[in-house]
Amino acid sequence: MNLAEGVQLVSLIVLSAMMLGAALGVVLFENIVYSAFTLGGCLSALLDSIFC
């Protein structure tokens, strides 16, 4: 495994954890504003993981 593959693997793991955390935040927050912000974070993590 070279450096580029290692960086790609680490970024995939970090973005996946961020997406799962944001998805849980969308479901568990009672305030609609916080849910909207975490939904935006979930979408950005999803798009970043697709285009990495």
User: What's the pLDDT score for residue 41?
Assistant: 78
Phi, psi of 32 (to 5 degrees): -65, -30
From first to last of the 52 residues of the chain, give the pLDDT tens digit: 799 899 989 988 888 888 888 888 888 988 999 888 888 877 887 787 677 6
The token pair at 12 is: 């995939």
Domain count, the chain: 1
Q: In the prediction, which pLDDT does 3 show?
A: 92
The domain in which residue 37 lies consists of 3-51
Q: Check residue 52 and give its pLDDT.
A: 61
Report d(CA 18, CA 15) in Å as an integer. Answer: 5
pLDDT value, residue 38: 85
Residue 28 one-letter amino acid? L
Alpha helix ranges (H) inside 1-52: 3-28, 32-51
pLDDT of res. 18: 81
